[in-house]
Amino acid sequence: MAIENGDFIKIQYTGKFDGETVFDTTYEELAKETEIHNPRGMYGGDVVIVGAGHTIAGLDEDLVGKEVGYTGTVEIPPEKGFGVHDPKMVESISISKFEDHRAYPGMEIEISGRRGVVTKVIGRRVRVDFNHPLAGKVVTYEYTIEQKIDDNAEKIKGLLGLYTGMPDLVVEVDGNSASIIIQPALTFNQRWLMSKGRIANEILANTDIDEVSYVEKYPEAPLPEIEAEETIVEEDSGDEE
């Protein structure tokens, strides 16, 4: 049966630019070989909802109409990839904004929650490009559709993995209700706090589940006391993946 918008599918993929430079992949060995491996990343394939914007538009659109087991390559223009390069997002900033008042071309920085790359240093002014690093580039994705997921619990685990990197949380489904069992430590996990609302909304919008509960489960042994300052969640700096 052909893949349609709204389907939950598991895909493996490798993204490249300039024909051969790998910038993203679900294959851990390839990530290591190309020196883009993230020790905290999740490899082995992503579960996505087709048409929900979980991938860039060009790849998302290409999934529709394919069959489980399909393997192919799609070339994606900037407009449906990481955007065109916007000159207005290249700004001149005082070097006083930089730690130790040091900057050099190629330096990656984060200012006021925005990530950018230094392109030039002229005296005490620094030119920073806040466009996505792949803005303006044509990219290609080699991908395989491994599985279509129909079970609600597996759909939810897939979303948990996609958004939080934690696909092994316990999910209990009873009729049209779903409970996600979380450990107390997640209460202070910034990535979890930023994602749980969106995860619940996507479950409700894309499955026949009509109630989602997050249940904190405490061990029998008392939890160690946590000092007040350790419970403070820092403001999100704009993360990623």
* pLDDT tens column, 171-216: 999 999 999 999 888 888 888 888 999 999 999 999 999 999 999 8
Residues 56 and 30 in one domain: yes
- The CATH code of the domain that includes 240 is 3.30.70.2210
Strand partners, 71: 144
Residues 203 and 231 in one domain: yes
Cα separation, 241 vs 236, in Å, equals 15
Question: Mean pLDDT for the chain?
Answer: 89
**What total number of domains does the chain contain?**
3
Residues 143 and 40 in one domain: yes
Residue ranges of E strands in 132-210: 139-149, 170-174, 177-182
**Can you tell me whether residue 47 is helix, strand or coil?**
strand
Burial class (CB in 10 A: 0-12, 13-18, 19+), 154: middle
Asked if residue 226 has pLDDT above 60, the reply is no
Range of the domain at 225: 154-241
Asked if residue 117 has pLDDT above 90, the reply is yes
Mean pLDDT of 42-71: 96
Give me the percent of the chain exceeding a pLDDT of 70: 91
Which of 44, 71, 81 lies closest to 143 in space, CA to CA? 71
Mean pLDDT of 61-86: 97
Residues 27 and 143 in one domain: yes
Cβ neighbors of 131 (< 8 A, separation 6 or more) are 83, 85, 86, 89, 90, 116
Q: Give the angle subtended at the CA of 200 by the CAs of 6 and 48, to the nearest 5°.
A: 35
Cα separation, 159 vs 156, in Å, equals 5
Residues 91 and 66 in one domain: no
Residues 27 and 140 in one domain: yes
Residues 193 and 232 in one domain: yes
pTM of whole model > 0.75? yes
Residues 73 and 37 in one domain: yes
Cα separation, 25 vs 104, in Å, equals 29
Task: Supply the DSSP symbol for 136.
Answer: T
Residues 75 and 109 in one domain: no
Task: State the DSSP string of 66-131.
Answer: --TT-EEEEEE-GGGTT----GGGEEEEEGGGSGGG---TT-EEEETTEEEEEEEEETTEEEEE-S
Residues 124 and 70 in one domain: no
The residue whose two tokens read 């685990």 is 157
User: Three-state SS across 9-22?
Assistant: EEEEEEEEECCCEE
Domain limit, last residue, from 97, 116, 150 = 150
